Structure 1
């Protein structure tokens, strides 16, 4: 009986991705083998774990390994494992479609990639390792049977938009990926994947640390002279040494790099390697890495959090969220605990005292490592902060135990410098005599903050202001009271006291009395929008600005809440007037002389509207404001 062969279409985006990979950007073809071996290693890890958890699985775990099979005559290379395998539905879901977000972004990145380093990095970064096989193969065949199931699945494609899938019998447990290699060309001496020497070289370079034996049939000569015979023997071609069990001086930088790429599924180099070993009440070993590049999904909801958990060198789970806090989700690596149960579940982990203790120690170790970079390797620290600073600042909200440490590690843009960010310790060291607070302003961009009316008096007096433009800045500034005994103070909220001398104070008292009738009238006229109108100490060139109370929401934070679907009640804020501005003095004179009240009210509304726009706020009725402005401009022509 002939098995039914079904032809299916690749997902549209996957077809475009395949076309780019096959015909476009990749120059380092060797990376495909690293991806396939890593997939096989994962499958073996998962089988061993499932066999611990399910005693009725009926899977053979006596000799778990990976085989590499070369057929020079037919130009094929097969990567075979006896791991967990896949069901038919899993094949369609995982292989037939690109089951990962960011597809449009990866296509754009692939088009931009022009060199081997950039293209290698994208393979791991977007989880598209299996598709890299089409760089070297005209056709790829996958035969797989899931452990515990009788039926196997055969998948095949030439990467041109369709694939076939059918049920087969008599397939062994696990998966076998056979690459029908492209014809030899002028570069075949560099990329001859039917060469035993070439395959051995790639395994040594990329996969020597894999914990499972990688075997390959190699030719062995026995005897001498006429009695010499050549036989094929299985040989294990990787060392299988767990790097986290070895001291740092026993491991080369290249070995650390390849292990990092294995556990992170990325192709950049680690910025920093962090080996750890704990002995005593409970024991564990850890090997952590800080990447040099942020993954594309670092700020996406589906971003993977956590590091791999092993127990006595037995893989337990990927992305163990309980081992690191969310704000350190960029840290990759392995933790190998000695005393946990092999069938530990995520529910048990959440309650486990040992895991919580490991989490605290890992967190402190990562933060201390960043502190060392900040103190001793400024270039590395600058790279770290540029890639992961936004994520680290999330810890200011969630990790109160380490809040002070994270503040000390943070850097911020400042009015003092156009390029180099500053630490809070550096800011405090530059504070002027008499300055008792760390001034900051949040906004959507540096340009918006620098051009804000709120900045004018601070610029005039040479006072440094932190420029905070990350979304997380809107959140943590409301919950972190101080640094080094100096309170944080928003220059867009509350009253401003910039240390006026006696003459300045007397002048402001006089102005307050002079403008009292105007501010009272404007507060009544604009009562639907403002809670108070007062004279300003922060303006030098603008006629007016909007100021919030000390604990009110900023306009940017209101926008964020609304964008996330959360209702935000209208908050009335304070309108401040610059008593030295020609428009304000003219308005005061016109009001004192009781001129056209309608024109005065229109001017008050325009003054409020322009102040609101200047700070990046949103008008309740933009059309009415535009109409009023047009009419007023027309009358001046």
Structure 2
């Protein structure tokens, strides 16, 4: 099978991405080398870890390193490692295909972006470092062999839509990527990437902290005039950034390290450098990104920080160190007293890891709280990107719930342009108001136009506007804030009148109750398949009707969420509330009292319920029947 080669096409999205890279959407092309070195470092980490786990794996880990080979005459730069390597299937899966949802959206945004910085941010969200080579290359050749396998794989492409892949017998273990640079006079080549000085500059700037030696053969003048000798030098310091005191690390070093661990091309929003001493010693260097990755809300998305033990890489995404709602946090934790052979399963139960996790979470939340108090712009960016994920912690992290409630920001009717904290809402509550009112829905517009809002708007009560799916769950779990109950405006009875107003309106309400008793009984019977009760409303001012739930009923949105997750939940019948002052409702009462046409009354009842359901954003069980009844009724009015 030696040297058998076939030509394959890139996946459509990969092909489009390559075209964008080839046409230089990003001005700083130096990062291609940073990305290749970062990938090589990951491969070395994985080999060392694999050799500890699999005792039957016959590999030499005595001299793991990264080698850079520049050939000015051939205009090539090769990045070589003796790490884990790849199989043929790995190469096709990792390079020929971008198997991630959200690809099409990313590409569209990148095509629309005219700004280099914006393009950089978009690429960073997706993490496509290998393709950066095509910013400077007219061709890329990859040679690799996975540790433990005998056959290697050769891959080559110009980035024009296809690639060649073949099997080779003599590939060394690990991976080498040879970048065939574009011609020297090309407009895309502002620098000579085969020049020693340029390579050193890039490594020093972006990769100095890499824990593996980065070696390069350099020419030095010989003792005799005109002669030279070749000398292999390690060109990075290999100093672990997290182990150095904070005052000895420059901000640029932090930023470069963040790009290395996150494969993100933009700067972090905030850096957290901490050291734990005492019973359990550890160092941690964590970062809050400046934007959410594309896979933040995807089940297969990456989560967790890197785990090291005494500078030895152990695990790439250590979920045990960071709760799921903080899955956007990137960085490194170096624990001093763990076993090098520790597994994911053991980590979940390890006491030291649990202690470290609690401290990390508290520090991250304290950092977010500090942003909220002292840097409004950064906090606004954070909440826009990660607020929805952070609210998941209100459900899962009861230990830190109080802190989370302090940093949560929510939309409300108080100021359409600004978010509010829960403490801010409580401060603005009316005299005598005992509950925090909220409304959930798909959008602000839908909630603001909902019939449920009418009485609250008329009385001047502030309502929190919650539009994220997670909001449906956390408000039920939390229940109250600062002794004030969280109360849905679409559930239970609503009475916003003052004691004086109640006394004035008591006789009127009693009279209306008598007037409408017969109609309410009739409607409850005729709509019994849809609702469990029909009653008069105290929350409506302009709409004829609305649909509400009992105080402890599951909301329709929550029902749909559970069913979408495959859970069977019983359908909850709701309550139809009527506005006794609306002409449609008063007309229906009079027609019923006068013994009006039964089919016509029944149709009106159906239409009334359907309109109430649509007004809150609900779904009709039989839209065709509703529209037919409505069309017939409108036709009779002409």
Classify the TM-score, shorter chain.
over 0.9
2:416 is aligned with 1:431: no
- Show the 5 A alignment for 1:550-629: 550-629=551-630
Ranges in structure 1 where 5+ consecutive residues have no aligned partner: none
2:493 alignment partner in structure 1:
495
1: distance between equivalents of 2:214 and 2:107? 33
CA contact (8 A) 1:555 1:616 kept: no
Q: TM-score, normalised by structure 1?
A: 0.96
1:404 alignment partner in structure 2:
402
CA contact (8 A) 1:455 1:491 kept: yes
- Show the 5 A alignment for 1:178-257: 178-185=178-185, 187=187, 190-221=190-221, 227=225, 229-257=227-255
Which range is displaced more, 204-213 or 121-130? 121-130
2:525 alignment partner in structure 1:
524
2:170 is aligned with 1:174: no
1:340 alignment partner in structure 2:
338
CA contact (8 A) 1:444 1:556 kept: no
CA contact (8 A) 1:138 1:182 kept: yes
Which range is displaced more, 282-291 or 208-217? 208-217
2: distance between equivalents of 1:609 and 1:3? 69
Which string of whole-angstrom CA distances, capped at 9 and with x for unpartnered residues, describes residues 434-459 of structure 1? 10000000011000100011101110
CA contact (8 A) 1:100 1:127 kept: no
| Structure 1 residue 36 displacement after superposition | 0.3
C-alpha change, 1:205 and 1:395, in structure 2 (3 Å) is: same
2: distance between equivalents of 1:184 and 1:399? 57
| Structure 1 residue 188 displacement after superposition | 7.1
C-alpha change, 1:562 and 1:150, in structure 2 (3 Å) is: closer
C-alpha change, 1:368 and 1:210, in structure 2 (3 Å) is: same
| Structure 1 residue 8 displacement after superposition | 2.8
- Show the 5 A alignment for 1:440-455: 440-455=438-453
- Show the 5 A alignment for 1:238-317: 238-317=236-315
1: distance between equivalents of 2:634 and 2:256? 67
1: distance between equivalents of 2:471 and 2:497? 27
| SS at structure 2 position matched to 1:64 | coil
C-alpha change, 1:20 and 1:44, in structure 2 (3 Å) is: same
1:136 alignment partner in structure 2:
136
CA contact (8 A) 1:478 1:551 kept: no
Ranges in structure 2 where 5+ consecutive residues have no aligned partner: none
| Structure 1 residue 115 displacement after superposition | 2.9
| Structure 1 residue 581 displacement after superposition | 1.4
| SS at structure 2 position matched to 1:418 | coil
Aligned length: 635
Q: TM-score, normalised by structure 2?
A: 0.96
| SS at structure 2 position matched to 1:419 | coil
CA contact (8 A) 1:144 1:154 kept: yes
CA contact (8 A) 2:3 2:169 kept: no
CA contact (8 A) 2:182 2:189 kept: no
C-alpha change, 1:374 and 1:534, in structure 2 (3 Å) is: same
1: distance between equivalents of 2:171 and 2:369? 54
CA contact (8 A) 1:412 1:466 kept: yes
| SS at structure 2 position matched to 1:477 | helix
Equivalent position to 2:326, from 325, 328, 332: 328
2:48 alignment partner in structure 1:
48
Which string of whole-angstrom CA distances, capped at 9 and with x for unpartnered residues, describes residues 124-181 of structure 1? 4323211221221111111122223333222222222322223334433221111111
2:415 is aligned with 1:417: yes
2:126 alignment partner in structure 1:
126
2: distance between equivalents of 1:477 and 1:204? 50
2:541 alignment partner in structure 1:
540
| Structure 1 residue 485 displacement after superposition | 0.4
Equivalent position to 1:381, from 376, 379, 382: 379
2:484 alignment partner in structure 1:
486
CA contact (8 A) 1:122 1:266 kept: no
| Structure 1 residue 337 displacement after superposition | 0.5
1:3 alignment partner in structure 2:
3
